Amino acid sequence: MSYYSYFRSSKPSSYKVPKDQVESTYKRLRSRTFWAVTAGYAIFYICRMAFSVVKQPIIDGGIMDSRHLGIIGSAMLFFYAVGKFVNGFVSDYCNVRRFMSVGLGISALVNLLVGVLGFCFNWFSLPASVLFVSLALLWGINGWMQSMGSPMGVISLSRWYPRSIRGTYYSIFSASPYLGKTLAMILIGSMVAWMGWQWGFLVASIAGFVGVAIILIFVSDTPESKGLPSVQELSGEETTKVDKMPTKELQKLVVKHPGVWIIAAATAFMNVTQYAVTDWGVLFLQKQKDFSLESASQVVAFSGVFGVLGTVVAGWLSDKVFKGNRIRPALMSGAVCIAALSLFLFGGGGYVQNLLYVSLFILGMGILFCIVAGLMALDMVPRKATGAATGIIGISSYVAAGIQDVVSGFMIHGGSSGEEYDFTAVSVFWLVACLVSILIPVLGWSFMKKKVVE
């Protein structure tokens, strides 16, 4: 079997579900596919976040400093950015179950190898340069594998859900990264504090292989592959000229649409700020506010619950409260982000206050990201080209996040105060990025209201 034939979208099944069982079978398969994809994508984030938790133990061990850690983190993000672009376009043609499970499986394997490499570093006294180069390479591979998660989740939604309810389920799916980050901070943070940094990667690896099993057992590619009619027929949606256009032609129109690129630019700056807090927040609390590793991990972890809340309510908020107006809730959540991030970076306070600041920031960012990068994009993009839009937004977002990791690492290490780790300048950098991320969709709103194909 060729690479192409293995990963391509399933052909319609020769078996047809009896008419009296169509509705019940459709709802059952749709529900279990949705929850399995959502759980699987949350576990992708556990395999992604291990490195963010172990930064302080690696620094304390004298193995590497923040500059090296920033480069390794950026390797994952740069590979992720390019992979998300490529896989976004490719995934419009792919089998959700197979593509997503392979990506998560290799990501889990990479975490296992990093953990084993860490043990070898201690046992055999490997040079720190060997560990640095190996981690950068492996974490780059992990970034590419991670890019096989999000596009397939969005495409699965478009294949199984009608437009009338897709926004609600997209909001729930969008909460999975925050759930994954929360679990990663709690599970990995506790294990690292107890057993050592290498064990954090082993825990992530085990979680990844569990996620692969969930995807393989419960995810179905398309309704047609299970003997059901298409989602348009099942939901009574009218077939339009867009549904009859070739996928390749629709992807070309997506690339030319200015609204997609405005969303891409906005989410690029959002990711600078979002990844600054998730990737450097634990270290910031330890170095700047004298938190222990366990306490710092708990603050970032528990705050992720508010990200889940924010993304879940985002669709309801913009659909029901603001009657489809996406820009008003985006502005409100943006204001919350600015205020909360300012207090976190420049305010004082102990555990409870910093937990509140980070929670409010992640709540606002969850709503903002879901509305701008998700619902606004779904409003304008045809079903058969959602992967292409995800790819364009993804490469912009994660190139920016990767640049942030490198810049932040160097700014933190060579601070203006002369201290070894100084967060003053980098805090201004993060705050300005947050402000720009809010201004871009406001200024480009007129372009974002237009659909790719009217």
Full set of structural domains in the chain with CATH: 33-221+247-448 (1.20.1250.20)
Cα atoms in the 13 Å half-sphere on the side-chain side of 305? 8
Contact assessment for residue 250 and residue 380, using Cβ atoms and an 8 Å cutoff: no
In the chain, the amino acid numbered 78 is: F
Kindly report the pTM of this predicted structure. 0.75
Q: What is the DSSP string of 97-132?
A: HHHHHHHHHHHHHHHHHHHHHHHHHHHHT--HHHHH
Q: What's the mean pLDDT when you consider all of the chain?
A: 84
R_g over Cα of the chain:
22
From CA 436, how far away is CA 433, in angstroms rounded?
5
Phi-psi region of 246 (alpha: psi -120 to 50; beta: other; left: phi over 0): beta
Q: Which tokens hold the place of 94? A: 């792919």
Q: Which tokens hold the place of 38? A: 């959502």
Q: Cβ of 177: how many Cβ atoms within 10 Å?
A: 25
> What whole-number percentage of the chain has pLDDT above 90?
21
Query: How do residues 28-41 score in pLDDT, each as one tens digit?
Result: 999 999 999 999 99
In the chain, the amino acid numbered 136 is: A
Query: How do residues 431-451 score in pLDDT, each as one tens digit?
Result: 999 999 888 888 877 766 666
pLDDT of 149 strictly over 70: yes
Helix (H) or strand (E) holding 302: helix 293-316
**DSSP 8-state secondary structure symbol assigned to residue 6:** H
How confident is the model over 106-120, as a mean pLDDT?
A: 93
3-state SS of the chain: helix, strand, coil percent to 5? Answer: 80, 0, 15
Question: 15: burial class by Cβ within 10 Å (0-12, 13-18, 19+)?
Answer: exposed
From CA 43, how far away is CA 37, in angstroms rounded?
10
Contact assessment for residue 254 and residue 388, using Cβ atoms and an 8 Å cutoff: yes
Query: How do residues 228-271 score in pLDDT, each as one tens digit?
Result: 888 878 777 666 666 677 777 878 878 888 888 888 888 899 88
pLDDT at 418: 46
Q: What is the DSSP string of 132-193?
A: HHHHHHHHHHHHHHHTTTHHHHHHHHHHHS-HHHHHHHHHHHHTHHHHHHHHHHHHHHHHHH
pLDDT of 415 strictly over 60: no
Residue 371 sits at the vertex; the CA angle it makes with 365 and 377, to the nearest 5 degrees, is 130
Q: Which tokens hold the place of 296? A: 């710092």
